Amino acid sequence: MSVFTRPALVGLPGDRTAAREIASSAVTTLAGVLVLFALLAPNDLGRLTPEAFVRLPVEALLGVAVVLMLRDGARRIVALTAGTVLGLLTVVKAIDIGFGIALNRRFNPVFDWGVVGNGVDLLGTSIGRTGALASFFGLALLAVVVVVLMALSMVRLSRVVAGRRTTSTRVVAVLSVLWIGCAVFGVQLAPGQPLASRSAAAYAYDDLRQVRAGIRDREAFAAEVGTDAFRGTPPSGLLNALRGKDVLFTFVESYGRVAVQDSDIAPKVDAVLDAGTARLKTAGYGSRSAFLTSPTTSAGSWLAHSTFQSGVWVDSQHRYDDFVKTDRFTLGGAFKRAGWETVGVVPAHTEDWPEGQVYGYDRYYDSRGIGYHGPPFSYATMPDQFTLSAFQRAERAKPGHPPLMAEIDLVTSHWPWTPLPRMVDWNAVGDGSVYNPMPSQGKTPEEVFTDPAKVRAAYGDSIAYSLNSLISYVETYGDDDLVLVFLGDHQPNPIVAGEGADRDVPITVVTRDKGVLDRIAAWNWQDGLNPDRNAPVWRMDAFRDRFLTTFAQ
């Protein structure tokens, strides 16, 4: 052999065979782990614990039994189909977890895809539109990979089972007896985590039941929308007790019961409301407060707005999609029919909103048309004080303006509640450029969301700012013809409101006109801006009819 010739580094045949067997076993093990994870993983972040995965899934036992009964061709088809379905269920479980965090409810695989676009928009406020779209498509690609890997894993495992029929039959027989015993005696490793699991099948069944319920609900909702005692009411029978008034319905984003009661947030907000009650009383204003039960929680403001305006319960995306296609008689429509000019102010909107036609607005201001030239504050396109100031200049400050009805949506208190603007002199608001330095002077969402206590504090600060903006607006621009109704749209995220929190939101009427307050005396609402736990609670869809009835004559 030449001294320049290197010996070939070729392993022995037995070594290569052993390596292939080890690699094959490793791939099979990973396939088994992936399938078991998909079968056992819960769809709720709170139940995503180690105990959740120390269970025996009945679906795996049934799957092995089916494979053992099938021939090769049918086995591959069944395994591929079952793997694809399991992969899709896994993706939907992951979306469920996201919906639980953001919306405190499950994802509806038929009706909720439109909400995904809203999620992309919300993410875009933190990382930019390009980054949000890239994240969305990255997650979509990951979902495809999960489905493909799950299908391939099922095919591989079915082949292994079929190749070891005797062993597989014995193992599945023993484990089946164990599963039955655990099921009969209710063996649990942790509360709500039975060792004998059938969660995947139950989850799939619940999804199908949810879809069927949604389909049936569309028929019921159509009947609700079509039943309306006020639909044919002539102008002479509408809102006569409010003639000549400017009536402003103002939604404070995420202003829920948690802001005013039984939380570490409440003392700060209560102080703002109590001081505001005194300030407004000094200025000659009276106020009455209570609670409404919102159809949504954590997010989905449009569901609350449509419920409040329409007098029907809009608690899902499919109900909302159906509602905006109707000619349902709304509060906006009632005021317009009675002779008011109607205005919508929605600073959160950055694109066209054709669905808003259902509210009957004569004029509509979104983030593009309200004249704001300042910086955004995370999700909030502009501070609430600017929104109120711009509305005042565009509408109420016009000499001899006709009576106005407006819905004004305030967004400063929208998640993530930081950074926040500061109150400025109303004469200094201008085009909003006064706010330019403020975002960089506040805390970033990344700083705040490392600590739940900081998150709650930021939420409380944002609500206090929104309420102070409203109170100061009334002090500055209020007059004898102003009737302000302000309310929350929904409770905040569970990280603030807590798991299992109710859906109640405060609502308040403010006016100088004692006759208006006398009209609502029968409502038994409490005096002042700050309702306590004994205040009346109505469903939000009850407000329209009570309001139109009270002020008809």
Question: pLDDT (tens digit, 9 = 90+) per residue, 76-92?
Answer: 999 999 999 999 999 98
Q: Is 117 helix (H, G, I), strand (E, B) or coil?
A: helix
Residue carrying the six token digits 């349902």: 328
Instruction: State the pLDDT at residue 136.
Output: 78
What's the whole-number mean pLDDT along residues 409-428?
96
Q: Which of 376, 461, 408 is nearest to 124 (CA)?
A: 376
Prior bond of 416 cis (ω within 30°): yes
> Using one digit for the tens of pLDDT, what is the confidence trace for 117-159?
666 666 665 556 677 678 778 888 999 999 999 999 999 999 9
Indicate the range of 39-48, 238-247, 342-351 predicted with least confidence: 39-48
What band does 9 get if pLDDT is binned at 50, 70 and 90? very low
What's the whole-number mean pLDDT along residues 444-465?
94
The neighbour count for residue 30, using CB atoms within 10 Å, is 13
Q: Which of 193, 206, 222, 161 is nearest to 49 (CA)?
A: 193
What's the whole-number mean pLDDT along residues 226-242?
96
What's the whole-number mean pLDDT along residues 215-221?
86
Over pLDDT 70: what percentage of the chain?
93
Give CA–CA dist 276/413, Å, rounded.
18
Q: Indicate the residue type of 312.
A: V
Check pLDDT > 80 for residue 205: no
Q: Regarding predicted confidence, which is higher, 143 or 17?
A: 143
Instruction: State the pLDDT at residue 73.
Output: 87
Instruction: State the pLDDT at residue 105.
Output: 72
Over pLDDT 90: what percentage of the chain?
69
Indicate the range of 178-182, 270-274, 381-385, 411-415 predicted with least confidence: 178-182
What band does 1 get if pLDDT is binned at 50, 70 and 90? very low
User: How many CA within 13 A on the CB side of residue 280?
Assistant: 35
Q: How does DSSP assign 118-155, residue by residue?
A: HHHHHHHHHH-HHHHHHHHHHHHHHHHHHHHHHHHHHH
Check pLDDT > 60 for residue 506: yes
> For the whole model, what pTM was predicted?
0.80
CA distances from 386 to 271, 432, 502 (A): 23, 7, 31
What's the whole-number mean pLDDT along residues 388-397?
97
Domain borders along the chain are: 15-213, 228-528
What band does 45 get if pLDDT is binned at 50, 70 and 90? confident
CA distances from 541 to 147, 242, 329, 460 (A): 42, 21, 13, 27
Check pLDDT > 90 for residue 363: yes
Residue carrying the six token digits 């010739």: 5
State the CATH architecture for 228-528. Answer: 3-Layer(aba) Sandwich (3.40)
Indicate the range of 188-202, 295-309, 323-337 predicted with least confidence: 188-202
The neighbour count for residue 336, using CB atoms within 10 Å, is 19
Instruction: State the pLDDT at residue 8.
Output: 47
Instruction: State the pLDDT at residue 217.
Output: 85
Instruction: State the pLDDT at residue 13.
Output: 61
What's the whole-number mean pLDDT along residues 25-54?
87
> Using one digit for the tens of pLDDT, what is the confidence trace for 465-499?
999 999 999 999 999 999 999 999 999 998 899 98
What band does 6 get if pLDDT is binned at 50, 70 and 90? very low
